[in-house]
Structure 1
């Protein structure tokens, strides 16, 4: 867990999106300036990212039920810790992918007159939104795994 037990913050993820987006934009700009075009993005990428988001949330539900006292069976602490790590990895991956695809989308918008760039832009927006969903699913699942300190330590 990061931040002395407080977990990932949205500001950190925004920073990752911006840094990855800027570096990706620069790299893609160099690539495009050499006469290349942006490639197609598979719609399957969006489906896979959304499926991963659903699986991350599904992994967090037993932890949430256990922490709320609603679980019917005990929860292995190692499983709970792994779920938290999975959630944070999903949030970080979603942030990185969002920056990566947002940079390409920005470049596609700048050159919409090129053949096929309208469909490429649609695909990039779809996969970028799917990456944002994965990031949000990771943050939601991290929240599900949160154990609040006892009342006397909140001070």
Structure 2
């Protein structure tokens, strides 16, 4: 049996595409009635940067323990929680990328108007930071991966003749 490999980039891309599609449809429906695209606050950007930074700090500590250094504050439970937080951060970043891209797509047909073009830039900046959050989550997930021990090398390989080992 192959060990669980964690969150894959393809899952994040599909999540971002699904979110972008659904959000674009919803925003088109809302804006067709005369409403404007919801305004964007900068607090979301601050939160994403803070979360990404906290993920990297926690992940770096787990990586040091994994590589054999002693860090007293890192327990196995904390390492597992760091891994789960990294995966959640990756999916959160992916969903936010989809949301911000959908907003950009709704504003894009009017990009020749200066006021609309000025509204696109903040969404673009937020989308880039959300992608960085997803990237930080994937990096920390990699840092949390336990390397196989030398004596475990053959246990994870499937049998070649189709019969189970005993």
TM-score (norm: length of structure 2):
0.85
Unmatched segments (≥5 aa) in structure 2: 158-166
Give me the whole-angstrom Cα distance separating, in 1, the residues matched to 2:102 and 2:80: 33
Give me the whole-angstrom Cα distance separating, in 2, the residues matched to 1:62 and 1:117: 44
Partner of 1:122: 121
Partner of 2:144: 145
Contact map agreement 2:110 2:117 (CA 8 A) in 1 = no
Unmatched segments (≥5 aa) in structure 1: none
Give me the whole-angstrom Cα distance separating, in 1, the residues matched to 2:80 and 2:71: 19
Partner of 1:33: 32
CA apart distance, 1:32: 0.8
Partner of 1:42: 41
Give me the whole-angstrom Cα distance separating, in 2, the residues matched to 1:63 and 1:75: 7
Alignment length, in residue pairs? 153
Q: Describe the superposition over 1:59-114 as per-residue Cα deviations: whole angstroms up to 9, x where unpaired.
A: 11110000001234373111000000000000000000000110111111112245
Contact map agreement 2:61 2:71 (CA 8 A) in 1 = no
Moved more, 116-125 or 20-29: 116-125
CA RMSD of aligned residues (A): 1.8
Question: Whose radius of gyration is greater, 1 or 2?
Answer: 2
Give me the whole-angstrom Cα distance separating, in 1, the residues matched to 2:111 and 2:42: 20
CA separation of 1:74 and 1:33: change in aligned 2, threshold 3 A:
closer
Moved more, 3-12 or 123-132: 3-12
